[in-house]
Chains A and B, each alone.
Chain A
Amino acid sequence: MSPLSKEDIDRMSSLSREDILEELKTKMLSAPPQSPFFGRDIISIKELSREEIITVLNHATALKQTPQPELLKNKVMASCFFEPSTRTRLSFETAMTRLGGGVMGFADAGVTSTKKKETLYDSMKIIGQYADVIAMRHPAEGAARRAAEATDKPILNGGDGANQHPTQTLLDLFTIQECQGTLEGLNIALIGDLKYGRTVHSLAQALIHFNPTLSFVAPESLQMPSYICEDLKKHNISYTFYERIEEVMAQADIIYMTRIQGERFPDKMEYERVKDVYVLTKDMLAPAKPTMRIMHPLPRVNELKEEIDPTPHAYYFEQAHNGLYVRQALLGLVLGALHA
């Protein structure tokens, strides 16, 4: 039911109790069913059920096929990026613009009152008074949840430090479904920095809904954290640890590469030892299934050679493109223009 306006309340105050009840009943029956996404914050992938994930992906598919240039006309998105971002920020802003909405915001905390020591809570409370929806990234873990306490406008988390990046996970799932035709029962290899990479943590957690077989390829010092493995075990998801990419190439449906980040290594000699072990070259693809696709959250450094780009296995640029449709779907859903 749409909220009662001041005029509604003034008018109803002169009615009898029975008439008020009758009017409210009529209003409720004529209102469209409320979507479970309407007004909702998207902060952590763990808060989305399998059905909700599928709803987002279905809307993203529809929006990719049929653009909706007026869907969010007269709505405004605040784009609050307290730390640098290229793909996430630009795709959020493009998503809103291509749905007919307006965008305001900043791409650098240095130009905001944060520099004058304003708290995140105060900043978001004020921004929430200007915008209908807020897309944000912040270096502190938990910042998106804190922001959601400051405003009743929906918060879309575009990354809070090393914690969550749910829209990346949704676009990863969308891409897997698009290139494999299904999300169910796939053999998915996650490769590289599995210890610190939030992308692979959230993806592994979201895949729990789709019964995958997972391969974790990483040096021992960068393997998947035990709390994720415990989660997988609890849901009877099969996973195996490997140290070499070659060991998983023949069986994988998806190879998900990540960058090994030198700055994370406590031991620089260990970094020097492993940094070039996880470099994917064209020759290594020979045993792969013809339908195998390679994904990468980007940016890449040298772990994914350019010679792979023209092969049919490369799918990382499509993956980055898909961020647009998934973010459009989320904007439409939380603003109530799309329904579950």
Chain B
Amino acid sequence: MTTFSHPTKDLRSFKVFTIEEGTVIDHIDAGQALNIIRVLDLAGNDTIVTVGLNLPSKKLGHKDLIKVEFRNLTPDEANKLAIFAPHSSINIIKNYEVADKFLVTVPKSIERLIVCPNPSCISNAEKMDTMFHVSNGGEHLKFTCHYCEKKFQHDDILEYKYS
């Protein structure tokens, strides 16, 4: 049997390689990275996107991570992803260095993204945009439909409308 000895240096940087320019979305709640890729339409153009799933994290236990090359997320885009991953941090990278770092802010309302889980809601009967008011009720975010006024948690939401 052949055995391989590991070099002494940290291998983590090889697992998810460093980028020259772009954005690193870190501390994403495990399991939410693919939702974020859809909501920000990161797969829909030529940018290179690297995704790490279930990476060990001191803060979260496990986390996801996304690196997007040559694209700087705007604060608005960052806030949109906050409904999936309210603890995530955004690192703007320039020349392999962190040029800017900020935490996402949960928006007060979110439009056109969530499909109302209430089948009796008018938004499921007519072709129209949805809108949810977001509140931070303890551990979990709560989403109140602007139309039917029903309150939901993430687990209740069955469908998102991705752009």
- A-side residues, CB < 8 A to B, are 44, 46, 119-121, 138-143, 145-146, 160-164, 227
Number of interface residues of B (CB under 8 A): 16
21 contacting pairs across A/B (C-beta < 8 A): A120-B125, A120-B126, A140-B120, A140-B122, A141-B118, A141-B120, A141-B121, A141-B122, A141-B147, A141-B148, A141-B150, A142-B145, A142-B146, A142-B148, A142-B149, A143-B122, A146-B122, A160-B122, A162-B120, A163-B149, A227-B151
B123 close to chain A: CB less than 8 A: yes
If A141-B118, A161-B120 touch, does A119 touch B148 (CB 8 Å cutoff)?
Answer: no
CB distance from A46 to the nearest CB of B (A): 8
B11 close to chain A: CB less than 8 A: no
- B-side residues, CB < 8 A to A, are 118, 120-123, 125-128, 145-151
Specify which of A138, A141, A227 lies most central, judged by the most chain B CB atoms within 10 Å of its CB: A141
Complex CA–CA separation, A140 to B128 (angstroms): 14
If A119-B127, A120-B126, A121-B126 touch, does A145 touch B120 (CB 8 Å cutoff)?
Answer: no
Contact B149 A164 (CB under 8 A): yes
Give A43's nearest chain B residue, CB to CB: B149
Contact B126 A163 (CB under 8 A): no
Give B123's nearest chain A residue, CB to CB: A142
CB distance from A130 to the nearest CB of B (A): 21
Contact B128 A146 (CB under 8 A): yes
Contact A142 B122 (CB under 8 A): yes
CB distance from B70 to the nearest CB of A (A): 40
Complex CA–CA separation, A162 to B146 (angstroms): 15
Contact B149 A44 (CB under 8 A): yes
Q: With a CB–CB cut-off of 8 A, which chain A residues contact B127?
A: 119
Give A225's nearest chain B residue, CB to CB: B151
CB distance from A190 to the nearest CB of B (A): 20
Complex CA–CA separation, A145 to B151 (angstroms): 16
Complex CA–CA separation, A138 to B125 (angstroms): 12
Complex CA–CA separation, A138 to B145 (angstroms): 17
Complex CA–CA separation, A227 to B151 (angstroms): 8
CB distance from A112 to the nearest CB of B (A): 15
Partner of B147, one of A46, A119, A142: A142
Give B130's nearest chain A residue, CB to CB: A142
Give B127's nearest chain A residue, CB to CB: A119
Complex CA–CA separation, A22 to B139 (angstroms): 57
CB distance from A313 to the nearest CB of B (A): 34
